[in-house]
A and B are shown apart, each in its own frame.
Chain A
Amino acid sequence: MPTSRRDFLKTSVLASSLLFVPKFLHALDAQGVQQLRNSNGKRLVVVQLGGGNDGLNMVVPFRNDLYYKARPTLGLKEQSGLLTLDKDLAFNPHMTQLKGLYDQGLVGVLNSVGYPNPDRSHFRSMDIWQSGSASDQYVTTGWLGRYLDSNCPGCQMPYNGLEVDDTLSLAMKGELRKGLALKNPEKFHQVTQNRFIKQVSGEKAGGSGSELDYLYKTLAETASSADYLYQTSKVYKSAITYPNTDFGKNLKTTAELINSGIESRVFYVSLTGFDTHVRQQEQQGKLLGDLSGGLGAFVEDLQKSGQLNDTLILVFSEFGRRVTQNASNGTDHGTANNVLLLGGGLRQKGILNDAPDLLNLDQGDLKYQLDFRSVYATVLRDWLGADDRAILGSEFSRLPGLV
């Protein structure tokens, strides 16, 4: 073949994105494109706050005496710059951009989201949130992976579910289909251009369905996805200034992929470091500043390109912290927590349910008033148009009219 696939792609960068599809995937993609037409065009961006973010100091119940009683030095006072919302709640002073989005009607705040018999171990609770299981179930696939499995329109290729990171989370692993993790399209592409890998990845999988075929199929899809992502992502370079943090960079990559027209239904990004046992205010404040600044730029980016109405952002953490502060001016592992929803497609905005009940605790921890799987069910069915029951394994009541 005189002109390589790569040359072909390079010269046609400004053409419609359909042309960027590597040749040998054309057959697959003709079908894929039809299915994309059938899809509703909506996408989900999940933001994972790792380490157990303290919801009570993110969405602060600043008119509740019990809050200050439990947190004599850690409690955030109104005069410290709290950003007042509704229902006697306020954002942490570091969340200025998120407050701006809130005022624009782009944010929904859910309080006390959790699950029965909460597990206070980081890895186990994250496992539960990512798999979407009950606390006494062990599920080896993720809720978004099972969404990819569910024959959703436009879910045939690994890049239809993208995680901006070096490794792939359980959340994005299905039984039959798995998402794709990449830090940035260029770096990912570079790895597949290694001479040996490039050569081998060009080989076709056999049709026997053996483990070896599975390996070759995964490799071929990885390489063609890397090509597609690398070439297509050049279409749009963001002009928005993002915070110069890892999280900011990852959101910028996400926005560039979305605005370039990458047909991914699901994106996954993480911000870590929320395990604030000591000197919490400083550490959490910095992280919430990163979160707010990053999401502020991200939303602005999508707003400008007109993609925000089709984008829903879901922010969660594996658990909240204990209500009472500890002796090191920090908090220990707790239970129920806030979930934030952002996007132009939100039909209900503001504080969406009751503030946390600080009087009625379970051994010092918040009782959950909303199962996280209800949030998932709502997103899956009402936003992505998927079969939430099949994906989550049981029926969870959805939040009516939310998205």
Chain B
Amino acid sequence: MTNQQQLQHLYWRAGFGPRPQDIAANPNPRKALRQLLHDSAAVQPLAGPRIEAAEMQAMTPAPMPDLRQDPQAPALKKGELTPEQRKAQNRQIREAFYTMNTGWLERMASSPAQLREKLTFFWHGHFACRVRRPDAALQLNNTIRRLALGKFGDLLLAVSKEPAMLQFLNNQQNRKQHPNENFAREVMELFTIGRGHYSEQDVKEAARAFTGWSYDAQGQFVFRERQHDAGSKTFLGRTGNFGGEDVLRIILEQPQTAEFIATKLYRFFVNDTPNPAHIQPLAQAFFRSGYDISDLVERLFTADWFYDAANVGTRIKSPIELLAGIKRTLGVELQDQKPLIVFQKALGQTLFEPPNVAGWAGGRSWIDSSTLLFRLQLPAVLLKNAEISIALKEDENDLDPQQTRADRTFRQQVQAKAKLAPLGVLLAKTPEAQQPTVLSQFLLQAPIRPENLRLVAQVAQQAPADGRLRTMVTSLLSLPEYQLM
């Protein structure tokens, strides 16, 4: 594998794809990785829609009891609002999420902190959480971003104390007298050790330990001592007067937790099919390092098997990776950001809206007849202003289920600009006949089929000279090969 192929592989996996200038510079992959780690050292929180959030709070009579008592309700009980207020509130909530969503996507495409954003995206799917409060969702997202490359224990504890997560998993209903096991169960099943490594009794005991973990109207974690069950518990074979922190600590003492997390990272960054021979040493090192995430990903990205042909160009891009990747590689800018939300929904992955606490299933589940056709049309929509029409489902508009079909239908040309000049630089010394080949080597991680290379060359030949590059790029991006990374 050439240096360029290795570099591209690294940029796709540790970030959201290569830019032409990254490849033109042609560093060796180890140096590129050091740079990625360096560029990802600082933490820049995602800016929130403060104005919208403030307006929403202004509309809400203080205090806001619903956040504690009715997790599914918006800031106000729906029945207490006039229809107009309700509509206005829904619109503000929706706009706030749109701003956060497209703001993050833009950052994926342009931030130098590629590795941090990629890991934030990974943890966003791992600690999947979906709430109606944009401020709470943003706070959780920034907590994840801050700790994404730190110690997993710190991240786990911080996430477990986030109001959004406590709300989503009903821990505000977890009280001494009436324990609610949802939070304790998912922490173990999905966030840490995985099924089969704890008993139903462990779930019950852990739930008791988390009683009293709550938050106040200002969105701050609060420990409510009167709701906490201070009695003795037996959890994973240990007995003591445990609180929530103790439960998390005991979970981290199980090597199985390191294996569970290492496996999930491996499946995300390397290959959907886990290879135990690769994962075992990783998991052991992860455990020994005290769950140091940076150390783990560095080991992973420097392992010799990372560049094995079996791991290159063999993973189906998630919709976010596809969109962010096109934006990053080609510097695509949209005049209006809204279509980016439509594309996410149509393709089945919307930031801040995971399907449930288990996150997105990934892999082949991204691809069905309609999503595949949509993926193949998308490049022409973004690069050639091709028209596209699609009606979203109601459940993809959960924030405002009253929308009519007309409101849910997207039918317009997308006004988008792409920066193709850096690609032109990359091709400057390449004779025209060779350009489709060279371009395919940069844009595709899976080797192009010969018949497709002929097809691209043919389409390019028919294009006017000033549109040739754009035509070639659009064609290459419209191939099944481009769905892989």
Contacts and interface: CB of A to CB of B under 8 A. Distances in A.
A120 B393 CA distance: 19
A interface secondary structure, majority: mixed
B355 interface: yes
A278 B182 CA distance: 31
Most buried by A among B368, B396, B404: B368
Contacts of A94: none
Contacts of B446: 212
Given A203-B451, A279-B83, A215 B373 contact: no
A122 to B, nearest CB: 6
A167 B364 contact: no
A39 B79 CA distance: 50
Contact of A273 (B130, B370, B394, B395): B394
B479 interface: yes
B377 A121 contact: no
Given A121-B72, A167-B346, A273-B401, A222 B369 contact: yes
Given A192-B373, A203-B451, A332 B79 contact: yes
B427 interface: no
A210 B314 CA distance: 8
A138 B481 CA distance: 31
Nearest to A331: B79
Contacts of B478: 196-197, 200
A149 to B, nearest CB: 12
Interface string B448-461: 01011001000100
A270 interface: yes
Contacts of A181: 368-370
A275 interface: yes
Contact of B455 (A126, A200, A225, A273): A200
B47 interface: no
A212 B481 contact: yes
Contacts of A216: 480
B78 interface: yes
A14 B395 CA distance: 40
Contacts of A328: 78-79, 81-83
A221 B369 contact: yes
Contact of B316 (A51, A179, A211): A211
Contact of A327 (B79, B459, B475): B79
Contacts of B83: 278-279, 328
A191 B373 contact: yes
B485 to A, nearest CB: 10
Given A215-B372, A218-B372, A272 B394 contact: yes
Interface in A104-163: 120-124, 126-127, 136, 138, 140, 158
A180 interface: yes
A387 interface: no
B356 A138 contact: yes
A348 interface: no
Given A212-B484, A215-B483, A327-B79, A196 B402 contact: no
Given A168-B371, A277-B86, A136 B395 contact: no
Contacts of A51: 394, 401-402
A333 B72 contact: yes
A346 B125 CA distance: 44
Nearest to B408: A272
A218 B78 contact: no
A364 to B, nearest CB: 13
Most buried by A among B79, B357, B481: B79
B479 A50 contact: no
Interface of B: 72, 77-83, 86, 130, 182, 185, 190, 314-316, 346, 348, 355-358, 361, 364-365, 367-373, 376-377, 390-396, 398, 401-402, 404-405, 446, 449, 451-452, 455, 459, 475, 478-481, 483-484
Given A50-B393, A166-B390, A203-B452, 13 more contacts: A51-B402, A123-B355, A123-B398, A138-B358, A166-B346, A191-B373, A196-B376, A196-B475, A215-B367, A215-B484, A219-B480, A270-B394, A275-B401
